[in-house]
Chain A
């Protein structure tokens, strides 16, 4: 598990609109990389290019290379469906399947991947829920609908669902922005535990959060509205928050804009 990602010369379009341009970076395995930047700078779009979710949007199109270890995700003959099975994603708003029980939510990805025996499924569901620090709260009501949980629990359920299929990489698109501070803390603790096994990429609007959870931080910005978003710099989180090389990064972090 946990592979490294190398992006080179990546650009993403919505129809004819160039949303992000010329992004190159390396994302280390077993670490947390945070994407920060003002709204509209394309950090979420970039995140979605990493598991080929961007092209799901009508008109979405990507140019450039994304290497997962040595395999080009945008190479000819690569099936986006299998890419998404190896790169999991957690969304901004908790989105457990409302028509499924807690158990079925966690098992959903496994059932897509193939046939599992009931006992095997039980084991993986328990392991995933434990991995998402949710097991103790839901073990007595696995057959209740997932939508009955609190927002923070739902988000951890979504994380359990994502890690149940044992992905190489876990992408998180502002996973705490819809949660209260206590639930946020629970998710942040969880991210700290998960990074020993997974490559984690997290988009966040909360700079304190980036500083707390991440090992590396990438700052994105756009020159003006309508201009494509670009990667300004990526470095160790400590460095970005103490002594960034680019002036714009410092301005953003110190709250002078954004």
Chain B
């Protein structure tokens, strides 16, 4: 790479403004790299467009033949004559199980991340960070098996307790039976998204500028107050991004949910009762049975498209939250 290491003096005089650097005075190395980078960018756009076009095309096929209301029907029977299917139950199950996962996982993740970055001595923090990394490496089917074989039988006690104290809300009523409910799926999802939320938050907290922590300390802040006034506000947007990564995983998680949930096309008033379903779980469960002859597969693709849109909306919302307080972010310190 003699070209790259050539001394600067050999270069033509730099153009006055960045934009004036036209193709003519680009060196071969720069030109190759520009091509590679631009090519990668275009590839990404092409792939995204291809997926979107395919999903929309296939989904339209199914939607035009659907006799039920796609958004409100509590049924999934695309192979019937006429086909009737709707995503109400799936949308409800997906959102509810993901919200439960977020509510449980995000506070715990922030706690773990702060402990590793600001409380634990190094000889504890390093192995602990490693364990969290390991947790992220476990395949989701293994979580599913663990959930079905360990979590489900052991959650009945918790459910009875919740029924006794929170049963009056109706949402946490428990009527016995296996704990194969949306709430169980939510707990399992919480454990699964814990590592990614923790890791990203930890990295952000670690980068919290020393000088702001010292500013807080010098004002007479305790360690918790230092975290409250300098670390957490600095890490805010990072924690939101981390949560969105986690939420993305929870929304799309397939095997683990499919393994613990006992699906049905009903919305139960109690989150502790078995039943319900999620987009991804439904696709995994129904894909094999969906015959290529009917519109079964196309109907599933339509539901996938909805999941795609929900994920986009959630991400957009997160960006909005981050952008709203941009001038206060640590980035312009």
Residues of A within 8 A of B (CB): 51, 53, 56, 81-86, 88-89, 91, 93, 95-101, 108-109, 112-113, 144-145, 147-148, 158, 161-162, 165
Known contacts A93-B211, A108-B229, A112-B225: does B219 contact A99 (CB below 8 Å)?
Answer: no
* Residue among A56, A86, A144, A148 with max Cβ neighbours from chain B (10 Å): A56
* Residue among B218, B229, B327 with max Cβ neighbours from chain A (10 Å): B218
Q: How far is the CB of B325 from chain A (nearest CB, A)?
A: 8
Q: Are B219 and A112 in contact (CB under 8 A)?
A: yes
Return chain A residues, CB-CB under 8 Å to B218.
51, 53, 84, 88-89, 91, 162
**B168-225 contacts to A (CB < 8 Å):** 209, 211-212, 214-222, 225
Q: Is B254 among interface residues, defined by CB-CB distance under 8 A?
A: no
Query: Which residue on A lies nearest to B218, using beta carbons?
Result: A89
- Complex CA distance for A131 and B317, rounded to whole angstroms: 43
Return chain A residues, CB-CB under 8 Å to B130.
none
- Complex CA distance for A158 and B222, rounded to whole angstroms: 19
Q: How far is the CB of A155 from chain B (nearest CB, A)?
A: 12
Fill in one digit per residue for B82-124: 1 if any A CB lies within 8 Å of its CB, else 0.
Answer: 0000000000000000000000000000000000000000000
User: Contact partner of A100 among B221, B222, B225, B328, CB < 8 A?
Assistant: B328
14 residue pairs of the A-B complex, CB under 8 angstroms, read: A81-B221, A82-B220, A86-B220, A89-B218, A95-B209, A98-B212, A98-B328, A98-B333, A99-B236, A99-B328, A101-B328, A147-B332, A161-B219, A165-B219
Q: How far is the CB of B223 from chain A (nearest CB, A)?
A: 9
Q: How far is the CB of A154 from chain B (nearest CB, A)?
A: 10
Return chain B residues, CB-CB under 8 Å to A144.
327
Return chain B residues, CB-CB under 8 Å to A86.
220
Q: Is B159 among interface residues, defined by CB-CB distance under 8 A?
A: no
Q: Are B332 and A98 in contact (CB under 8 A)?
A: yes
Q: Are B328 and A162 in contact (CB under 8 A)?
A: no
Residues of B within 8 A of A (CB): 209, 211-212, 214-222, 225, 229-230, 233-234, 236, 325, 327-330, 332-333
Return chain A residues, CB-CB under 8 Å to B211.
91, 93, 95
Q: How far is the CB of B214 from chain A (nearest CB, A)?
A: 7
Q: Are A84 and B329 in contact (CB under 8 A)?
A: no
Query: Which residue on A lies nearest to B237, using beta carbons?
Result: A99
Q: Are B214 and A56 in contact (CB under 8 A)?
A: yes
Q: How far is the CB of A18 from chain B (nearest CB, A)?
A: 23
Return chain B residues, CB-CB under 8 Å to A112.
219-221, 225, 229
Return chain A residues, CB-CB under 8 Å to B216.
97, 108
Q: Are A99 and B233 in contact (CB under 8 A)?
A: yes
Query: Which residue on A lies nearest to B220, using beta carbons?
Result: A85
Known contacts A95-B211, A99-B234, A99-B236: does B328 contact A145 (CB below 8 Å)?
Answer: yes
Q: Are A85 and B219 in contact (CB under 8 A)?
A: yes
Return chain B residues, CB-CB under 8 Å to A96.
215
Q: Are B225 and A158 in contact (CB under 8 A)?
A: no
Q: Are A95 and B327 in contact (CB under 8 A)?
A: no
Q: How far is the CB of A3 from chain B (nearest CB, A)?
A: 16
Q: How far is the CB of A128 from chain B (nearest CB, A)?
A: 12
**The 8 nearest A-B residue pairs measured at CB:** A85-B220, A99-B233, A89-B218, A98-B333, A109-B219, A95-B211, A84-B220, A95-B215
Return chain B residues, CB-CB under 8 Å to A147.
327, 332-333
Return chain B residues, CB-CB under 8 Å to A97.
212, 215-216, 229-230, 233
- Complex CA distance for A89 and B233, rounded to whole angstroms: 22
Return chain A residues, CB-CB under 8 Å to B329.
98-99
- Complex CA distance for A101 and B325, rounded to whole angstroms: 11
